[in-house]
Amino acid sequence: MRYPRDLHGYGATTPDAVWPDGARIAVQFVVNYEEGGENCVLHGDPGSEAFLSEIVGAQAWSGQRHWNMESIYEYGARAGFWRLHRLLADRQVPVTVYGVATALKRSPAQVEAMQKAGWEIASHGLKWVEHKDMDPGEERKQIAEAVRLHEIVTGERPLGWYTGRCSANTVDLVTEEGGFAYVSDSYADDLPYWHEHGGRHQLVIPYTLDTNDMRFATAQGFNSGDQFFSYLKDTFDVLYAEGAGGAPKMMNIGLHCRLAGRPGRAAALARFIDYVKSHDKIWLARRIDIADHWAKAHPFQPNECRPSRLTEDEFVARFGGVFEHSDWIARRAFAEELGPANDTAIGLHAALAAVFREASDAKRLGVLNAHPDLAGKLAQAKRLTESSTSEQASAGLDALTDAERVRFTDLNSRYVKTFGFPFIIAVRGLTKDDILAAFERRIGNDRQTEFDTACRQVERIALLRLTDMLAA
């Protein structure tokens, strides 16, 4: 069973973003333009809007207009937008607008101002409504209609997409559509990444809900501009320091005309922009600029050989010998949950080792007995597996003196007679003397201790093999 979520991502070492001019951080401001596209009976919706306003905890009024809610949204279009526009334009800050298509249609003067300022206008969907329960077919139609209306209103097709109130299908549907440079319905990373679906690939530029003025309109959110500024500053400082250390990231700042467009909050935003611009090696960019850069610096790399993408037969053929002559471990691991987190040596080892650890003592004993003696008869007859041959040779066990061979033969015989399974040790990095010393030390263990030790060594051998196999 394939687990679709990717909980591994870039792992411990993130790629070098190589932002332009050696920037330590890419900073991106988003203005969400939703006013006129929100839930309202005037728009054919069943009730009023209840989300992201000064009325924290508001409930939708079924079949009624909510005058207070409507006027709060109207403030965003009438006053808040223009305050943000002046602030951002005066400070020469590049901006991406997430524009709800129906909201843009109702705001021609604001659209003209966005375009004159050189702002990117990405699509924020057809309407500012919930999509979580929407049928995929209906959501697909709404994406297409949003694109059509957006192009009519702005004169250009949107190259970016962010639904916001999305469904589990949104990113896949946008990927299927195939006409976007990026989609931002994700909060999963500090860097862009590639998403695959249905034979297509799509760049994802993650967004944020923490460095976002929406927290002025949620419980336990920002209560004052000082809190907003402080949180933005702390975020910037951490990411800027990481960039100085060789791991440049991206910072998103989400704004709403009816929220950050209020005077007390706009003041905090102005202070933060001035703080950011007081630093060198920063890249203020629109999201489309980031998308273009990432597609060139880190183009999509297909990899259909990832373990979690293989068929059962392919998986067993490739990894069935990781635990010596015990392909049942690979079969059981495949039948369990495999996902992107298992596409690394550590991740796949965890899946295989879990099967081994859960097996009965009898099954694990079978795995131990599948391993050859060190420098034993199979080695002399050149009948070891390719992995075992390479491993034993790395420790010089294929070039023993007569005296050393006699000593190994004696120890092998005594060990098997004592414990009922061969001596097993991960030989990589060890010398013949190291191995013989371990042999002499461990032969004095009780059987349970040695059984446990041998099992741990089997797991270590498996990890080393996987590390070699998945090095690329």
Residues with catalytic roles? 371
**Is 124 within 8 Å of 163 (Cβ atoms)?**
yes
The set of residues, in sequence order, having a beta carbon less than 8 Å from that of 359 and lying 6+ positions away, is 329, 367
Burial class of residue 13 (count of CB atoms within 10 Å of its CB; 0-12, 13-18, 19+):
exposed
Q: How far apart are CA 28 and CA 279, in angstroms?
A: 15
- Angstrom CA distances, 274 to 17, 90, 104, 254, 388, stand at 24, 11, 29, 17, 62
- Kind and range of the H or E run holding 466: helix 447-469
DSSP-H helix ranges across 95-208: 101-105, 108-116, 136-154, 170-177
Q: How far apart are CA 229 and CA 227, in angstroms?
A: 5
- Angstrom CA distances, 40 to 26, 50, 128, 131, 387, stand at 37, 10, 10, 16, 67
Pairing of strands 200-204, 249-256: unpaired
Q: How far apart are CA 431 and CA 34, in angstroms?
A: 68
Q: How far apart are CA 224 and CA 211, in angstroms?
A: 14
**Is 255 within 8 Å of 84 (Cβ atoms)?**
yes
DSSP assigned state of 14: P
Q: Helix 447-469 and helix 402-419: axis angle, to 10°?
A: 120
Q: How far apart are CA 173 and CA 124, in angstroms?
A: 14
**Is 386 within 8 Å of 364 (Cβ atoms)?**
no
Sign of the Cα torsion 409, 414, 417, 422 reads negative
